[in-house]
A = this chain, B = another copy of it.
């Protein structure tokens, strides 16, 4: 495996983009990443596009080829990859692999989704495409349902209070306030969060991430490009795994096996331990997901996720910063783009250019989870020269 570097990133704002099509969102993100990298587009040897529900929601597929056509790329392989909410992470992983294994010297990963033109029923039904229909969906489950059950199981087992759960939300919403790409940053009081409308017991409105439109891209290159890149960020660990496709198949509702396996593999490749990570962008589709993920990734001891948030340890200036971007809860969750949005935010941090800068950040981790934990990607990034 060769060394791989992120030469450039680009992103649209996450939020509502009613004025342009999903193809244009993807093209815009790619153009920004190409410009940021300063790499000639003729050097690109592969394009991977992460997208989840463009088929059912928009009746549009084969987006990888359409985006490549819009960019004027050559006759290179262009592939859409799908793994529910982990689709963006998978696109990054495959672009990484294509450079790491010598398939090409430069590759583009782009994630894109467009959801806000649909009503809530359509979105819920589209997101349910990530569920096993013959088992969980037939039982009436939705994703707020899955994470509501997980939250109940977690509260049952550990000493997690409602106000601690709300601290996770408060932190991420507050981080989102300073992030110009975030859809729903806010300065919320704990009472507002804890007393908001019930969605899926015990999860309330602000415990749930919003549906979004957005596109994000990253341009990855081999070592030969190093001299010409301004702020190279090295991908020192990258892993993709699978877990259970049904909630009934999960032995433990307070943990996702795919996350544990992906983190193990990524840390082994990187040759570092969780305490050497300076900050993490993880998959907080619901507040309880941030708590579970932080424990699965080895950042926080079991049962302590809520406590650490309440003590400010996971804030941008804490000792274990989590989702300084605002995460999915505040930045939004344009599903196929989310995994690449985490890469975008991490690169800004490692360059020292983030609105919620983690001081001295040199090593970042990203974590993208799909469905009922059926698919996961974990990446570990390090500022080159650090």
Chain A positions within 8 Å of B, measured between CB atoms, are 21, 23, 52-56, 58-62, 64-66, 68-69, 73, 75-84, 90, 93-94, 97, 101-103, 125-126, 128-130, 132-134, 240-246, 249, 257-258, 261, 370-371, 374-375
- Beyond A59-B133, A244-B69, whether A83 also contacts B103 by CB under 8 A is no
Instruction: Decide: B375 and A60 in contact? CB cutoff 8 A.
Output: no
Which chain B positions have C-beta within 8 A of A245? Answer: 62, 65-66, 68-69
Which chain B positions have C-beta within 8 A of A130? Answer: 61-62
Instruction: Decide: B83 and A261 in contact? CB cutoff 8 A.
Output: no
Which chain B positions have C-beta within 8 A of A61? Answer: 52-53, 55-56, 82, 84, 129-130
Which chain B positions have C-beta within 8 A of A78? Answer: 83, 242, 375
Pairs of residues from A and B, 9 with the lowest C-beta to C-beta distance, nearest first:
A55-B55, A101-B101, A65-B374, A77-B240, A61-B129, A75-B261, A69-B245, A80-B82, A62-B84
Instruction: Decide: B62 and A243 in contact? CB cutoff 8 A.
Output: no
Distance of A249 Cα from B103 Cα, bound (Å): 28
Instruction: Decide: B97 and A101 in contact? CB cutoff 8 A.
Output: yes
Minimal Cβ-Cβ distance residue in B for A240? B77
- Beyond A82-B61, A82-B80, whether A134 also contacts B55 by CB under 8 A is no
Minimal Cβ-Cβ distance residue in B for A55? B55
Minimal Cβ-Cβ distance residue in B for A130? B62
Instruction: Decide: B79 and A90 in contact? CB cutoff 8 A.
Output: yes
Instruction: Decide: B97 and A134 in contact? CB cutoff 8 A.
Output: no
- Beyond A80-B81, A82-B82, whether A65 also contacts B97 by CB under 8 A is no
Minimal Cβ-Cβ distance residue in B for A98? B97
Residue among A55, A97, A249, A374 facing the most chain B CB atoms (10 A cut-off)? A55
Which chain B positions have C-beta within 8 A of A241? Answer: 75-77
- Beyond A61-B129, A62-B82, whether A242 also contacts B68 by CB under 8 A is yes
> Which of B80, B103, B134, B375 is the one whose CB lies under 8 Å from A62?
B375
- Beyond A55-B56, A101-B101, A102-B101, whether A62 also contacts B76 by CB under 8 A is no
Ordered by A's residue number, 12 sampled pairs between the chains whose C-beta atoms are within 8 Å are: A23-B134, A60-B129, A62-B130, A62-B371, A62-B374, A62-B375, A64-B242, A66-B132, A68-B245, A77-B241, A77-B242, A80-B83
Residue among A58, A75, A241, A244 facing the most chain B CB atoms (10 A cut-off)? A75
Which chain B positions have C-beta within 8 A of A246? Answer: 69
**Closest beta carbon of chain B to A55's beta carbon, Å:** 3
Instruction: Decide: B65 and A371 in contact? CB cutoff 8 A.
Output: yes
Distance of A242 Cα from B71 Cα, bound (Å): 13
Distance of A52 Cα from B257 Cα, bound (Å): 28
> Which of B79, B90, B370 is the one whose CB lies under 8 Å from A83?
B79
Minimal Cβ-Cβ distance residue in B for A93? B77
Instruction: Decide: B129 and A65 in contact? CB cutoff 8 A.
Output: no
Which chain B positions have C-beta within 8 A of A370? Answer: 62, 65
Distance of A218 Cα from B244 Cα, bound (Å): 23
- Beyond A133-B21, A243-B75, whether A83 also contacts B102 by CB under 8 A is no
Instruction: Decide: A103 and B97 in contact? CB cutoff 8 A.
Output: yes
Instruction: Decide: B75 and A257 in contact? CB cutoff 8 A.
Output: yes
> Which of B54, B66, B249 is the one whose CB lies under 8 Å from A69?
B249
